Amino acid sequence: MHPQDNQHDKNLDVDGSATAGSASRKPRRALWATIVSTLLWVASIVLAFVIKPGAMIFIPDSLLLLGFVPLLWLWHRWWLTLCFGILNAAIGFFLLILAFLPREPFPPESLPMLDHLIDWHSPWAWMVIGGACALYGTSHLLIKIGRWLGRKLQQKA
């Protein structure tokens, strides 16, 4: 690797675009993303012990999942956002199915765990946030594919 290449990498923003002064902004953005994520995760853990099962039980899981959003935004890896969204939506779908499964096939030892999952984790929080992240990741993936195709077509012309 040449020293000029190393100097060029220092002037690239998180998404690879060069901006003036981005070398000093990148650590600051990373610090803020980390602080916001940590605060959301701590609030999620605290509220998980404060909120009892009922109408507001979706808040701790929502804050837990939203804690990943600043980091996903900082990393600019749209495939990662897409995978995060798909997997969280799948977890939400699994939680939704659990509520409608008959209890007879489960061994008696697993029923408290099943009750905990049904009572303490809202499937809608997982599916809505997961779906939003999947849509966001998909839209950016399609934009990147469109730009790539546009460059390829321009090169041929």
18-77 pLDDT per residue, tens: 455 555 677 888 999 999 999 999 999 999 999 988 889 999 999 999 999 999 989 888
List the chain domain ranges.
3-156
Tens-place pLDDT, residues 5-14: 444 444 444 4
Task: Please give the angle made by the CA atoms of 27, 29 and 32, to the nearest 5 degrees.
Answer: 110
Asked if 11 and 18 count as a contact pair (C-beta separation under 8 A), the reply is: yes
- The number of angstroms, rounded, from the C-alpha of 99 to the middle of its chain's C-alpha atoms is 25
